Amino acid sequence: MTRVFETNRGYTLLESLLVLLVVSFLILLPVLKGQALQEKNEESLFFKSFERSLVRSQTAAILHYQICRVQAQVGQEVIDLSLVDGRGIKIREILQVPKSVTILTNTTVTFKAGSGNIQKIVSFKFQRKWHNQLIQYQFYLGSGRFAKKIL
């Protein structure tokens, strides 16, 4: 008479760890892609906010007859927008620069009260990490209008 042994086969620890590794990778892949997408969106949102803030500052200089100043400095993570009224009261707005954007030039733009014009030709320059681009906002003398150039 022969005996047949039944064996209950299970998964070894190595096989279980391998499956866990593959599943973890599949779960983390969209999360990592999502972080990169979020940083790209932060860049785009920053530039749109910066452009709106420039126009708003110039408009405030014209309509409220107040000096408006926009200042960016290399190494800082903020852009300072300030408005000084006739009594010397200063109203400030701080625009946060995302980590993926670098300020390349020390620039101050002062919009004249009443006209919104500027006194000298200036430009803001930024470096975008994700698109590896230089962005330049060049101001036109007199009018205070600007042109965005991607270099």
Q: What does DSSP assign to residue 89?
A: -
Q: Which two tokens stand for residue 23?
A: 């599943």
Please list the pLDDT of the chain residue by residue as tens digits (151 residues): 566 666 666 678 888 889 999 998 888 888 777 777 888 889 899 999 999 999 999 998 888 888 899 999 998 889 999 987 767 667 888 999 999 899 999 999 999 888 888 888 899 999 988 778 899 999 988 777 899 999 8
Q: State how far the Cα of 29 lies from the Cα of 114, in Å rounded to an integer.
A: 54
- The C-alpha atoms of residue 36 and residue 38 are separated, in whole angstroms, by 5
pTM for the predicted model, two decimal places: 0.76
Q: Phi/psi class of residue 17: alpha, beta or left (left: φ > 0; alpha: ψ in -120 to 50)?
A: alpha
> In whole angstroms, what is the distance from residue 136 CA to residue 128 CA?
11
Q: Which of 72, 73, 74, 93 is nearest to 83 (CA)?
A: 93
